[in-house]
Chains A and B, each alone.
Chain A
Amino acid sequence: MSSSNVQSDNSLLSRLDRAVLRVEAALNLIGGATILLLVLMAVWNVIGRKLFNAPVPGYVDWTSQFMILFAFLGLSYCQREGGHIRMDIVVMRLRGRTLWFAELLSVLFMLILTTGLIYGSWHHFLRSFDWDMALFSRDSSIDIGLPLWPAKLIVPLALSLLWVRLVLQVWGYARGLRQGGDAPVAVPLPEDPMEQASREAETVSGHDKG
């Protein structure tokens, strides 16, 4: 697993960062486990259909529901680790306060966006949810009629965790901007391509076998 490029110390911010990280990492692992789960379900579907003429009922419906887990549970973890793609050709050349200002601006954009998306995706959930209906459902899948609200609820929840993460990063970069220096805590530090690549390489640096 890649070592992350986030500094820590004993400050409140850094302790909060690590506390939130524990939640993020656990959710990310669940997301990863869902990938395996879907692989197993596909195998069950094929074997069941072929050998027992009994495919998984509503296989496509179930897959679509579970996909939301691996699409969103790692969202905030990815941001913590600086994993979302960006073009760092300009950022790479910045140093010190200029850099922290650029980063602060960048996460502020993200924070505004995420706030808006939480509102929007929460209403998307609300439209599919109804206390008075069977299974609380007001929107269901095409084949076996699975209620859609649980999957729709995952999205605003995952975005809310991302929101918390972004607030911490705003705090972190603002501190970097005020204090100056090269390595504020609780934010992913920009890496030059070589560092980035060697971290990438570590992901396959287990034992060589075979």
Chain B
Amino acid sequence: MDQFIDMRALLDGVDIFTVSLWLCGLLLIMVLIGVRVAFAAAFVGIVGLCIFFMQRQGFDRGLVTALKLAGQVPHSKSSGYALSLIPTFIVIGYLAYYAGLTRTLFEAAKRWVGWVPGGLGVATVFATAGFAAVSGASVATSAVFARIAIPEMLRLNYNKAFAAGVVAAGGTLASLIPPSAILVIYAIIVEESVGKLLLAGFVPGFVSALIYAGLVIGLAKWKKDLGPPVTGYTWGERFAALPGALPIMFVIFIIIFSIYYRGEDGAWATPTEAGALGAFVVLVMALWKGMKWGELKGALMEAAKLTAMIFAMIWGVLIFVRFLGYAQLPDVFAGFIGGLEYSPYLVLLAILLVYVILGMFMDAIGMLILTLPVTFPAIIALNGGPDVTREASAFGMTAEECAIWFGIIVVKMAELCLITPPIGLNCFVVAGVAKDSKLPITVQDVFRGATPFFAADVATVAVLIAFPGIVLWLPSLI
């Protein structure tokens, strides 16, 4: 019993807030040396809880309390209804591929917009944007289009770095345009309406696609060797390509119809249910196209593995967040940010800059889950607190609007990290898929090709900050 009393004496006078800062440092080190992020976060969280409760209850009781408390989190946080969408969005991406939705979409886009400068690049942008409306995951979207769009571009002597870059960047649209797993995760962490966030991504997603397309056209005009337009399609051929894109239109129609059509008896489905309806339609299409049992099983195995990974991230990080709740770190940080004398836009910019730097090294979902518990309350405090009126707020919006607006911006930032070196998952995947094509494409090539799109994304974020209406208009309608 003696050493337990010593333990209390040892920890006595240790300020739990200071401990939380040290533990944030420890977490960083563990993540750096390659401990799986979910488990590093949970480990550090439990250590923190142990210190907190050992101070109050002594060694053995404190340990038991901390473990029991942490042991609630995995079940409790994994059974939140809104998270049920995540695997649906993952599986839909795999199924859409087997339903043959990607190649036909690209073909139609090529015939309709291929005539502009850099035509195949523009077609790729619009095809990925269209596919984004059924796929919820960026990396999968890039992988799928790398197989379809890159060989075609190389055949027409497009610059290989450019061809790879446009596919890597186009894939990021999948997370802004609903459905989107990452937007759901954001909504869960900040306790905001999932439906509103998904709606909010729509317009910015298309604005982002337009900016990409404009960039491609500008680049193609400036550097003549980038790639030729694809001309010579007759209107007949253009319309003939449309039926191929119909299935995807149908899925989008089903989703929008079921949420917005009001018959005698009200709408068909809630936004959450509409996501599942879309997945069901794509599943039927995939089976209709002759998807084999082996392929379905493969898709399910992959989707289940990814799902387990994402949920582990969620509960692992939330164990850490539970400790932060005891240490009151987010409150203190929010108070600090809210009390700053600088312009709120400057502070926002500083926070976004941190995301750019983190994003160079981290995975998108991991980065968001790790940082939001601290940055989100800070942003709300910066805007003027949870009860602020539009007039009194820093950004001219209510707290709820601020949550939605910041969500779209921060998801766009997280998507940025998929195309920035040294760790940019989309670029790795594109290089991996393209290694079989006739010209070898290295990871460096892809990063080089994606650089202009990084600039375009910065422009998009600037536009979203300057004109919050782009984000807030659609959700304000419901």
Contacts and interface: CB of A to CB of B under 8 A. Distances in A.
B279 interface: yes
Given A121-B71, A124-B68, A204-B140, A77 B35 contact: no
A28 B311 CA distance: 14
A9 interface: no
A46 B70 CA distance: 37
B308 A123 contact: no
B310 to A, nearest CB: 9
A71 to B, nearest CB: 4
Interface string A46-84: 100010000000001001110110111111011101011
A194 B435 contact: yes
B32 interface: yes
Nearest to B139: A200
Nearest to B90: A35
Contacts of A121: 71-72, 74-75
A141 to B, nearest CB: 9
**What range describes how many residues of A lie at the interface?**
35 or more
B238 interface: no
A106 B298 contact: no
Interface in A102-118: 102-103, 105-106, 109-110, 112-114, 116-118
Contact residues of B: prevailing secondary structure: helix
Interface in B262-315: 265, 268-269, 272-273, 276-277, 279-280, 283, 289-290, 295, 297-309, 311-313, 315
Interface in A147-170: 151-152, 155, 159
B31 interface: yes
A209 B289 contact: yes
B305 A77 contact: yes
Interface in B23-72: 30-40, 42-43, 46, 67-72
Contact of B36 (A42, A74, A84, A209): A84
B355 interface: no
**What range describes how many residues of B lie at the interface?**
35 or more
A21 interface: no
A1 B98 contact: no
Contacts, number: 280
Contacts of A71: 78-79, 83, 307-308, 311, 315
B425 to A, nearest CB: 8
Interface in A170-210: 193-201, 203-206, 208-210
Given A46-B258, A87-B362, A120 B36 contact: no
A114 B75 CA distance: 14
Nearest to B276: A42
A108 to B, nearest CB: 10
Contact of B147 (A33, A36, A151, A201): A201
B70 A116 contact: yes
A29 interface: yes
A106 B33 CA distance: 8
A36 B363 CA distance: 27
B265 A50 contact: yes
Contacts of A122: 71
Given A29-B304, A42-B273, A106-B33, A64 B80 contact: yes
A180 B268 CA distance: 62
B428 A197 contact: yes
A32 B299 CA distance: 8
A130 interface: no
B81 A63 contact: yes
A83 B304 CA distance: 11
B289 A87 contact: no
A19 interface: no
Nearest to A205: B147
A45 interface: yes
A135 interface: no
Nearest to B289: A209
Contact of B301 (A28, A65, A152): A28
B307 A35 contact: yes
Given A46-B258, A123-B71, A151-B75, A85 B432 contact: no
A133 interface: no
12 contacts: A42-B272, A42-B277, A46-B273, A72-B74, A75-B308, A84-B36, A84-B37, A90-B32, A109-B30, A110-B36, A113-B43, A124-B68
Interface of A: 1-2, 25, 28-29, 31-33, 35-36, 38-40, 42-43, 45-46, 50, 60, 63-65, 67-68, 70-75, 77-79, 81, 83-91, 102-103, 105-106, 109-110, 112-114, 116-124, 151-152, 155, 159, 193-201, 203-206, 208-210
Interface of B: 30-40, 42-43, 46, 67-72, 74-76, 78-81, 83-84, 87-88, 91, 94, 97-104, 139-140, 143-144, 146-148, 244, 258, 265, 268-269, 272-273, 276-277, 279-280, 283, 289-290, 295, 297-309, 311-313, 315, 361-363, 365-366, 422-423, 428-433, 435, 443
